Structure 1
């Protein structure tokens, strides 16, 4: 990823690799002018989340 490229699309394998490597994730929701960020746990098993 380039330093001047703040966002880039991940391919499917990169997404799975990141989920597998992280102990937990975050789900961000925006409703009206309120933003909630919630921690989530994930378990991978044979390619399923």
Structure 2
């Protein structure tokens, strides 16, 4: 696992949910218009068909 250091103001931990042909992470409405960065913190499921 790589280690990354990111400066920011707030952190939330969410689970990515499937939607259509992609996936979403829902964040607080107050974050609308904010710039965010997403970091995957778990291994990918290699048994997945995608």
Flag the structure with more relative contact order, 1 or 2, with Cα contacts below 8 A and sequence separation at least 6: 1
Of Structure 1 and Structure 2, which has the larger fraction of its residues in strand?
A: 1
Of Structure 1 and Structure 2, which has the larger fraction of its residues in helix?
A: 1
> What TM-score, normalized to structure 2?
0.23
> What TM-score, normalized to structure 1?
0.23
Structure ID, larger Rg = 1
